[in-house]
A and B are shown apart, each in its own frame.
Chain A
Amino acid sequence: MRKIFLIGIKDVKIRARDPSSFIMLLVMPLILILVLGMVFQPLWTSTPFTIDVAVLDEDGGEFSKILLEEVFGSEQLKDMIKIKYVESKEEIIKEVNEGKIAAGIIIGESFSPAILRGEDAQIKILGDPEQAIKAGVIKNIVEAFTLEVLKRRIILGTSIGILVAENLINPAEIQQLIPVWLPEIENMDELIQIDKKIEKKMAKNPLAMEYYAVGMGIMYILFATNAGAETIFQERRNKTLERIKVAPVSEREILGGKLFGIFLIALLQFVMIVFFTRIFYRVNWGNSLLGIIIMILSSVLAFSGLSTFFASLTNSEEQIGNIGPALAMIFGFMGGGMWPAFLFPDWLNMVSKFTPNRWAIDGFLKLMYQEGGIISILPEVLVLLGMATIFFSLGVFRLRMKGVKVD
């Protein structure tokens, strides 16, 4: 056990003396957090959080009413989404260009009739790129609405088809019966579920700096653990692995020491990022110190496991050096490091759940913006520890199969 500890400490000492590591693992993320935080701050802050939307309703039919009155006018959204009705498409474009609105919605002339006829119905959204998050929220709500409509149209179409075929109804009467068959959307909660999440997240006015402190901080853990994993191969290149092996040190102690080193390097790096951003960027990481410690440990463990597995799939430090940063960035972006995952399309939202980044970010955001404390982060912690276990097991198995070879 003592030798495991000593090998890990030695790796940290070596890494700490490497100026390029210091820049890559500490200076870079801090600069990135600062830049992203400052650049994207306007997209994140608005007190209270409201989204200004312009609507051109050329339809005026049943379905546009449902969207505008029942969805946007619902209890959950009416305070957040401020609708302004306009008369022309040009007016929407002008408002978007001037940044006065986050998004414009154009409901086509034959939107409702087209839905009833089972034809393509068009609804257009124009968004202000500088208010991408807010525009994304509107896009998500409209997409959720159209999906719901599509679902109902299939059921409705089937029912009407059966009634007409059985001569139980005259086709001319269909239009009049629509309001009866298409009652008020009861399951509003399900329809706007995504937006509830937004409301929760936005409840305390998140700052871009805070979001990117979490997102980039988490992304850079993988850079740190990869740097730690490189030492397995450096040890071989420097012939020091050979020397450790001729000392009375077991292979288990050598491997344990290297893994401990990976964990320690990343732990120190992330703790320093948390500390630095708290002091100098005024990032509020939440009120639960224990929660923060648990999240830090479980996140670093998950990424250490991932890097161990990654190292076991590679054969040299060059391979880790070449592939590692790309992997870290892909995981970072997919896991919500750059944009909040609730803005992702469904498929990406699902994929992101396979990355430790997503669970780590969600856990920290809960500590920062919700009042749930440690209990609320339990699912994230369990998933991260599960990932750590799986990745470590696979990595260690493969590394032992390789035998930490020296020749």
Chain B
Amino acid sequence: MNIVEVKELVKVYNGRKAVDGISFEIKNGEVFGLLGPNGAGKTTTISMLSCLIPPTYGNAFIEGKSIIEEPIEVKRRIGVVPQDIALYPTLSARENLFFWGEMYGLSGKRLKEKVDEVLQVVGLTERSEDRINKYSGGMKRRINIAVGLLPSPKILILDEPTVGVDPQSRTNILESLKGLNKDGLTILYTSHYMEEVEFLCDRVAVMALGKIIAQGTQNELRLLAGKMDSLKVATIDEVQLSLVEVIKKVSETDEVRIADGAIEILTLQGRKVLPKIIEVLGNNGVRIKSVEVEEPNLESLFLHLTGKELRD
């Protein structure tokens, strides 16, 4: 069942289309990623889905509620984590959470329980009485996410929530989100970090210049990229040319060459054939120095589709 349905959404700013007729669906319980470089239209899309700005054309529905006709109903169903840290620096984390909880209509015992719960989810219960301006960037990000969880949303919308965060905090955040998804929370996640989307998302829509240029599961998108895995096996001993033919056979590919003391192989199933190649080399007395496997990813897909790097 679809929890989000986006239909031909368009946003025009000063005659320029920031979002240009995008459509996608998000199924209940999945993590859906919006991947694209800065300026692709991800934040504008999320702003429209959050009822922060109205679309110029098109419509979107959250649990069947229109973002145009029923914005308050939509707002009751979503939790939003903006790209910027939207917290009051001189209030403590707990005070911030209480305030935002009250804005979502929570009060009394229920509010207190919910605040305790989200603090536990983001692992900051111990520091909850500290003011936000005493927090590190990563901790602020975690409280920023905790605010989004307060209304017990049907879908959590996150707009590049790890920007400017150290690697350890990023891993922490991503693990937390993965856990929340396991517990049944639907997530819409935008990022221009390919690794995050690959780690987190079941399905991905790739955006560029306001349009969705590809969408599907990660495997579907890899196939769309049409690229093969690249294996590079560096050897200590010289490889005889006769051995190349054997390797071609076990790799199920003709794309095998020897250069700079290494065998380079392009194949559709790199991980599957790698043990066989190692076995062949071992049987023929060739000692291995190192092995590199490079699989096609969303980065290469983006490059394939647009001719540009994701971070351009």
Contact = CB atoms under 8 A, between A and B. Distances in A.
A in complex with B: yes
A18 interface: yes
A255 to B, nearest CB: 15
A383 B19 CA distance: 52
B80 A407 contact: no
Contacts of A246: 50-52, 75, 78, 80, 82
Contact of A244 (B76, B90, B103): B103
Interface of A: 2-3, 6, 10, 13-14, 17-18, 238-240, 242-250, 406-407
Task: State the majority secondary structure of interface residues on A.
Answer: helix
B82 A243 contact: yes
Contacts of A247: 75, 100, 103-104, 151
B57 interface: no
B100 A14 contact: no
Given A246-B52, A248-B75, A407-B53, A10 B85 contact: no
Interface of B: 47, 50-53, 72, 75-76, 78, 80, 82, 84-91, 95, 99-100, 102-105, 147, 151
A14 B95 CA distance: 11
A248 B72 contact: yes
Contact of B52 (A242, A248, A250): A242
B80 A243 contact: yes
A14 B103 contact: no
A240 B103 contact: no
B215 to A, nearest CB: 25
Contacts of A13: 91, 95
B102 A240 contact: no
A58 B12 CA distance: 85
A242 B52 CA distance: 7
A18 B90 contact: yes
A6 B100 CA distance: 10
Given A238-B89, A246-B78, 11 more contacts: A6-B102, A6-B103, A10-B99, A238-B86, A238-B88, A239-B84, A239-B86, A243-B86, A247-B100, A248-B72, A250-B72
Contacts of B90: 14, 17-18
Given A10-B99, A14-B91, A247-B103, A240 B75 contact: no
A84 B81 CA distance: 81
Contact of A243 (B72, B100, B105): B100
Nearest to B47: A407
Given A239-B82, A242-B52, A248 B88 contact: no
